[in-house]
Chain A
Amino acid sequence: MLTRGEHRASRAAGLAALMAIGLALAVPIAVLLTHGESTGVTSNQGDYLIRITRFTLMQAGLSTLLSLVFAVPLARALARRPDFAGRRWLIKLFAVPLGLPPLVAALGLIEVWGRNGVANKGLGLMGAETPFSIYGLSGILLAHVFFNLPLAVRLILPALERLPPEYWKTAANLGMSGLSLFRRVEWPAMRRSAASAAGLVFMLCATSFTLVLVLGGGPAATTLEVAIYQALRFDFDPGRAVLLSLIQISMTLIVMLVLKFLGTPAEEGETKGGGTNRPDVQGGLHLLPDAVLIGLGGLFVGAPMAAVVVSGLSADLSRLLTDALFWRAAGTSLSIGISAAALSVLLAACLVRARYSAGHRPRSVPLGLLAGLSGAAGSLTLLVPPVVLGAGWFLLLGGGAGQLLAPLMVIVLINALMALPFVMRVLEPAHQNTLERNGRLAVSLGVVGRHRLSQIDIPAMLPAFATGFVFAVALSLGDLGAIALFGSDRIVTLPWLLYQKLGSYRTADAAGLALLLGAITMALMIVAEKLGTRNGSVDR
């Protein structure tokens, strides 16, 4: 509980945070809109825009379909085999792509699935005449499935593990076959989480930037986000960028509304290392399909990461580590990451407390609005993808050329907003806990206001702050979306440097850099996770 003064302060802080976020979103959109007048749409351009939009939706739809088509049987197989050796590690492995910089993953995927990769060699031995192409639609789909199959599995698996053990005993007792069990029990249980996983995956794929940029391979396989980037960096055609941005925003808005209509967003439940015992599942030969499925799933997700490590280690790491440019990029990345994380945590803390405060008088309309907006602020940032956000600021700053501080602050802002939904999800339960545990005592002792913040609430939430902070740093560290627009020889971050090395086909350097970047973000993710589990409140 809070005192009246604390309520006032909390709401004021929340309002300020909301206004800051609103401004950060509104300014670029306003710039885009006012720039829009200069647009002359020729018929050719119109065709191009329609095709890009169609391709964006099509690849997102196919990516979602493929991810789910494989995730459902894989989640089922994992639920059926609750205690094989390495299951815990496999499920941990499936959490890795979520934090892996897309550029690093793309490199690993090229290593495995490129013309000369292991996968194509295998396919060739099996008699495939035309090699699988990592470029174009097939490459985009592959990369999206790599990222979203494990995510979907982690979202769906808990739905099965949550089912009471008696279900499986009853199924065994009644002698339900695998098919009947799937139809009558497993699928109905998975359906909800599969649907919301599908929504999330669709949203992520519809706004995917880096993977399409690297693997797209031409105008035929370009999404709106990449087209916006190209309109600004390739053509310097602000009119087209504006038009594309508006299409992108309308599209994400529609998708989000549809998802909202379809139901609650997917929450990753706790996937325990071992699931419920499954007396309905037989061993022996029946093990084979599950084992094959789980094995292939693990290989599909694990191989590109292993490839990054292997090719990274064979690169000249010592030369890379003595390169001044690497340290400059690392320093820039860290400064941006730390600033973005600090901003993100600050905004999230204000929003979380305001939401708590406003939520205590549910019948007041303005307070209800404040609570609602504070909660929605996180997803609002999803509405305007980083590249669109960047495009607005880019135009406002005249391309950011010759400037240093302003583009840097924009990058920080964009990265902070990107991390906001995640940070809020970490802080919210911790804040709730703290107030429930210490609220009455603090008020009864008269430790309120500033003293309470510094003596009680902030120290109690420190682990959550740390988790959110580290997580936000990691997220920012892997981001290419914001830096892609502003990157130059003046502002070099690690992903930008990696992208340049890829562009100039310095494969060995790129491989080494990818390993370093991947290792740094993974280390941060592990730290965030460790802090989180000690705190007992994180569920990402």
Chain B
Amino acid sequence: MRISRFIPAALAAVVPFIAGPASSADRALTVFTYESFIAEWGPGPKIEAAFEAECGCDLTWVGVADGVALLNRLKLEGDNAEAGVVLGLDTNLVAEAKATGLFEAHGLDTKAVTVPGGFSDDTFIPYDYGHFAVVYDTETVANPPASLKDLVDGEPEQKIVIQDPRTSTPGLGLLLWVKSVYGDDAPEAWEKLASRVLTVTPGWSEAYGLFTSGEAPMVLSYTTSPAYHMVAEETDRYQAAEFSEGHYLQIEVAGLLANAPDKDLAREFLDFVMTPGFQNVIPTNNWMLPAAAITMELPEAFGKLVEPKKTFLYTPEEVAENRAAWIDEWLGAMSR
């Protein structure tokens, strides 16, 4: 029957169409990142415009749900990845990312970068940072948790949306935060917290969307998130809860893929990341703190944010060594 031969032929015919149009610019760079970075309201579009004006090239974003999904995706695609730069891993994932052998030292001068704890690396360049925090809706939460213990032991009817540590860096951050505070008792803490969790989303965007649309009164986000509502929406309604134990730090990084089609352009982009052209966009678009000098005034709202008294951060090696076991522990506790 001729139809059997027709199917591959039909598919082959539409493949160019499916794969999308090829780029027209001479130089092109694809950057892998997470969804919220490239949303219309995120920093992506502005950074793209700024960089394209400088390089005369075509910058294309490819987004996945969140930071950890980014690493999964790289492991999956291996050498086949067509991107030049990966932007959106954090220090927790750095050792594991290096172990894949897919990254190459950037060879750039990174003295412009300043982040808490002074993280520096030959492969990954920090581009912003922030502290994880539980953000709550003051209209529905009268007594926000004052500590992680409060959050764990609190009223189960008052729900929180968290992210999956297998796909999302905030999700992984909370996992490490709980581990920092509870140590070996972390599984019990997760079991208790599970009753307060409305849903576990693969990425930050979906979780935060659920929160702002009123599906849940609390969400795992950052101490800087309220600044967005104060600046862009001129409201104090959403606030971050300060936890007495301290907050877990996230430093987000970008790195160069060894298989980058145009390595010079990729390096050019990484250099750009450390300049005000990139950094100025971060505070009021990614709503994180800049990792290098900016040439703008931070909005007043940033002065009103929670400033953690104590900061937690595991080394990349500690995370790499324990991540799989801790995630199994988390799965075990959350599925109980």
Contact = CB atoms under 8 A, between A and B. Distances in A.
State yes or no: do A and B touch (Cβ within 8 Å). yes
Interface of A: 13, 42, 44-45, 47-48, 51-52, 55, 114-116, 130, 133, 135-136, 216-220, 222, 230, 233-236, 324, 328, 331-332, 335, 338-339, 342-343, 345-346, 398-399, 401-405, 408-409, 412, 489-492, 502-507
B80 A328 contact: no
A491 B213 contact: no
B233 interface: no
Interface string B182-202: 000000000000100111111
Interface residues of B, number: 66
Given A222-B335, A331-B18, A405 B11 contact: yes
19 contacts: A13-B1, A44-B331, A133-B198, A217-B197, A217-B200, A218-B164, A230-B166, A234-B202, A324-B21, A328-B18, A339-B10, A339-B11, A342-B3, A342-B6, A343-B7, A408-B11, A409-B7, A409-B8, A504-B203
Contacts of A48: 328, 331-332, 335
A403 B11 CA distance: 13
B160 to A, nearest CB: 11
Contacts of B208: 505
B164 A234 contact: yes
Contact of A405 (B15, B68, B331): B15
Contacts of B116: none
A268 to B, nearest CB: 29
B229 to A, nearest CB: 16
B39 interface: yes
Nearest to B82: A402
Contacts of A47: 332, 335
Contacts of B200: 217-219
Interface of B: 1, 3-4, 6-8, 10-12, 14-15, 17-21, 35-36, 39, 62-63, 65, 68-69, 72, 75-82, 157, 159, 164, 166-167, 194, 197-203, 205-206, 208-210, 213-216, 324-325, 327-332, 334-336
A331 B35 CA distance: 24
B269 to A, nearest CB: 19
B198 to A, nearest CB: 6
B77 A401 contact: yes
Nearest to A506: B39
Contacts of B330: 219
Given A219-B335, A408-B18, 14 more contacts: A44-B325, A135-B199, A217-B197, A222-B335, A230-B166, A234-B202, A235-B72, A331-B14, A342-B6, A346-B3, A401-B77, A404-B18, A412-B11, A503-B206
A48 B325 CA distance: 13
Nearest to A334: B14
Given A343-B7, A401-B80, A503 B213 contact: no
B72 A220 contact: no
Nearest to A327: B17
Contacts of A343: 3-4, 7
B159 to A, nearest CB: 8
B139 to A, nearest CB: 13
5 smallest CB-CB distances across A and B, nearest first, come from A402-B80, A505-B209, A217-B199, A218-B200, A401-B77
Contacts of A345: 3
Contacts of B79: 402
A92 to B, nearest CB: 33
A133 B156 CA distance: 13
Nearest to B75: A236
A67 to B, nearest CB: 23
Nearest to A218: B200
Nearest to A404: B15
A215 to B, nearest CB: 8
A503 B198 contact: no
A115 B213 CA distance: 9
A409 B11 contact: yes
B52 to A, nearest CB: 19
A234 B166 contact: yes
A167 B68 CA distance: 65
Contacts of B17: 328, 331
B215 to A, nearest CB: 4
Given A115-B215, A219-B334, A234 B69 contact: yes
Contact of A402 (B75, B77, B336): B77
A51 B335 contact: yes
A114 B215 CA distance: 7
A517 B12 CA distance: 24
Contacts of A230: 166
B199 A335 contact: no
A220 B335 contact: yes
A530 B219 CA distance: 49
A353 to B, nearest CB: 12
A52 B335 contact: yes
A504 B14 contact: no
B2 to A, nearest CB: 10
B166 A235 contact: yes
B75 A44 contact: no
B72 to A, nearest CB: 5
A18 B194 CA distance: 47
Contacts of A332: 14, 18
Contacts of A503: 35, 65, 201-203, 205-206
Interface centre among A135, A236, A412, A503 (most CB of B within 10 A): A503
Contact of A504 (B19, B199, B205, B324): B205
Contacts of A409: 7-8, 11
Contacts of A398: 78
B187 to A, nearest CB: 9
Contacts of A402: 77, 79-82
A401 B39 CA distance: 25
Given A48-B328, A335-B14, A236 B72 contact: yes
Interface centre among A55, A115, A398 (most CB of B within 10 A): A115
A130 B196 CA distance: 13
A218 B197 contact: yes
A42 B334 CA distance: 17
Contacts of A234: 68-69, 72, 164, 166-167, 202
A339 B4 CA distance: 10
Contacts of A335: 10-11, 14, 18
Contacts of A136: 198-199
Contact of A219 (B36, B72, B210, B331): B331
A354 B146 CA distance: 71
A480 B8 CA distance: 22
A491 B14 CA distance: 12
A232 to B, nearest CB: 8
